[in-house]
Every structure is written in structure tokens, then in C-alpha cells.
């Protein structure tokens, strides 16, 4: 990596850490949770339960999670992905979603699987294996295999609460195509737009028709 790329990397790390300031909502065994979206959803209890679930059911994988994940944030991420991992600051950014048909236990199990997946990226990064155009399919396949092995442990422990047919994710590289195929500018503008929209959804009054123009909602576009 050249010096300019290193500086850009460092400044983006600094920007991300700055954005987290004041957004801390909890922690489990030193893994700190930050809610940058503050939508009043179940991000904090779900992540706490997910971490405890890994600790209880799979101590070996939990050791990896705690080694490679220091922070979990709820924030808007790159279009096409549910989460992104930053090895340099050991941070997972999750765009948290409630799943209305899943109860709290199953929702936490989904996120537990996701954290196992992201910690596998940490393991690979620590061995010098960074995701690149040439190896990204192999990297994601490995991470999905690892999350599925964890899902299998959960299902074996309690097949009713954690059904394997729901938690197991067959690997399909098309899941990543949107994120991989977008250029830098397209990805950035989509990310910005989604962040703005997300903020507006958090402030319902911004979505209300303006009193002076309430007959012409299209003017608000």
C-alpha cells in the first residue's frame, strides 16, 4: 500500500471513530455497541443476545469474535450488503433490520451468524488475506461456511427455536454482486442518499406535507 492510500485509510478510520462518539448504547465483554441511527428499534438487546448466544453455544468462535470485533455499529452500509467489516478498527457496521416474522431469539440467531461471518473476515485479514477482485468469491464462501457451521451448532442445541432450514444460508455469490459491481462514485452517492432518507424516516415531521404546500406533495421531491 502506498503512503497516500495509507493516509486515506487512516483518515477514514478516524472519521468512522468520530461518527461513533456519543452513540455508545452498551457493551458485552468489552465489545461496544454504537447506535448511529437511533430508530428506537431492538438493535441493542438483539446484539447483546446474539453475542451471549455465541458465547454460550460456541466458546471457540466467541473467542474469535471478541478478538476481531471491538465495536458493532448500527449504521447505513454499502447498498447490497447487510454489514461491512473494517479490520483496521475491528469494527462491524450493521444496517440493523427487524424481521417481523422472527421472534427475538431467531432474530438474535441471525445476527449471531452474521457476527461469526464478519469475525471470519477478521481471521483472514490477520493472516494477510484481504478480499480482492481475484479472491472475493473464495473469501465469502469461507465466511458463509463458517457462519453455517455455527448455525448448525445452534440448530443441534435447539432445533425448534433455531431451525436449520431457516438459519443455514446456501452460498450464492450473486448476493454480493450489487456491492461488487458498483463503482466508487455510484456506491458513495447511493450511500449518501440512503443515509439522508434514513434520517428523514427517523424524523416523521420531515415527511409530513408542509403546511404551506400540503396540496402539492410532489413539490417536496
Binding residues vs Zn ion (CB under 5 A): 140, 143
Query: Cell digits for 213?
Result: 404546500
- Minimum Å distance from CB 151 to Zn ion? 15
Q: Select 37 or 117, whichever has its Cβ closest to Zn ion.
A: 117
- Fill in the DSSP letter of residue 173: G
Secondary structure E strands in the chain: 24-28, 31-35, 71-74, 83-86, 91-94
Is the CA virtual torsion 90, 95, 96, 98 positive or negative?
negative
- Minimum Å distance from CB 182 to Zn ion? 16
Judge whether 58 and 38 are in contact, CB under 8 Å.
no
Judge whether 117 and 42 are in contact, CB under 8 Å.
no
- Minimum Å distance from CB 78 to Zn ion? 12
Q: Select 132 or 212, whichever has its Cβ closest to Zn ion.
A: 132
- Minimum Å distance from CB 167 to Zn ion? 16
**Alpha-carbon torsion angle 156, 160, 163, 166, nearest 10:** -170
Q: Select 138 or 220, whichever has its Cβ closest to Zn ion.
A: 138
Q: Select 32 or 176, whichever has its Cβ closest to Zn ion.
A: 176
Q: Distance between CA atoms of 210 and 214, rounded to whole angstroms?
A: 5
Q: Select 48 or 140, whichever has its Cβ closest to Zn ion.
A: 140
Q: Which residue is nearest to Zn ion (CB)?
A: 143
- Minimum Å distance from CB 150 to Zn ion? 14
Q: Distance between CA atoms of 117 and 139, rounded to whole angstroms?
A: 10
* Other residues' Cβ atoms within 10 Å of the Cβ of residue 75: 22
- Minimum Å distance from CB 145 to Zn ion? 11
Amino acid at each position: 500500500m502506498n503512503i497516500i492510500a495509507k493516509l486515506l485509510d487512516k483518515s477514514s478510520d478516524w472519521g468512522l471513530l468520530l461518527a461513533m462518539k456519543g452513540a455508545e448504547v452498551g457493551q458485552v465483554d468489552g465489545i461496544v455497541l454504537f447506535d448511529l441511527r437511533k430508530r428506537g428499534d431492538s438493535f441493542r438487546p438483539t446484539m447483546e443476545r446474539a453475542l451471549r448466544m455465541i458465547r454460550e453455544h460456541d466458546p471457540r468462535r466467541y473467542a474469535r469474535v471478541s478478538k476481531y470485533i471491538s465495536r458493532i455499529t448500527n449504521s447505513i452500509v454499502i447498498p447490497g450488503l447487510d454489514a461491512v467489516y473494517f479490520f483496521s478498527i475491528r469494527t462491524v457496521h450493521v444496517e440493523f433490520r427487524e424481521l417481523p416474522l422472527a421472534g427475538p431469539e431467531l432474530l438474535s440467531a441471525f445476527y449471531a451468524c452474521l457476527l461469526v461471518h464478519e469475525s471470519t473476515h477478521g481471521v483472514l485479514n490477520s493472516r494477510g488475506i484481504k478480499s480482492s477482485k481475484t479472491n472475493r468469491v473464495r473469501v465469502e464462501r469461507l465466511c458463509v461456511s463458517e457462519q453455517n457451521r455455527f448455525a448448525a451448532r445452534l440448530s443441534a442445541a435447539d432445533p425448534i427455536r433455531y431451525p436449520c432450514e431457516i438459519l443455514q444460508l446456501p452460498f450464492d455469490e450473486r448476493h454480493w454482486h450489487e456491492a461488487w459491481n458498483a463503482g466508487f462514485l455510484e456506491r458513495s452517492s447511493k450511500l449518501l442518499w440512503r443515509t439522508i432518507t434514513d434520517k428523514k424516516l427517523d424524523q416523521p415531521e420531515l415527511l409530513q406535507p408542509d403546511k404551506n404546500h400540503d396540496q402539492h406533495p410532489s413539490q417536496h421531491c
